[in-house]
Amino acid sequence: MTAAPVAARPVAERDLAPMLASLDVHRRAGEYVYVASARHDPELAALAHASVREDEGASYVLSRADADARGLGYDFVAAWLSLSVHSALDAVGLTAAVSTALSQRGIACNVLAGLHHDHLLVPAERAADAAAALAALRRPADAH
């Protein structure tokens, strides 16, 4: 199977100061939950916004509405925040800066890295606090 062509990406940033200076956060609508399956589940995979295969089985990030509609159990309800900074996959420091800012405010964070953006799953009730903590990281590049 051949992947569909993707538009060329601009050169990705590797320097932390410009990444933080351009950091912007967007909240995806809805609430999200993690559900697990002992093995790959095509139905859950089709619904998943993200998934990870581990030795113990598959973890899927579903909309809370989809999980509830199927009677699936979960114990963490998250808001999905996407960072619109163009960082290289081998850039150093962005995840550490983000997790430090959130941990200083007592906000849990699960990070998912995509090719185009990093995504943060934070407790739904702390989404506004998380966005404020991340906005505080955005300073002019020469202020870092």
C-alpha torsion 120→137→19→122, nearest 10: 0
Q: Could you tell me the pTM of the whole model?
A: 0.85
pLDDT in tens, the chain (144 residues): 566 666 665 678 787 888 888 889 999 999 999 999 999 999 999 999 999 999 999 999 999 999 999 999 999 999 999 998 878 788 888 999 999 999 999 999 999 998 888 999 999 999 999 999 999 998 654 444
Sign (positive or negative) of CA dihedral 141, 9, 120, 14: negative
The most distant pair of C-alpha atoms in the chain lies apart, rounded to whole Å, by 51
68 touches 77 (CB < 8 A): no
Question: CA 53: distance to chain centroid?
Answer: 17
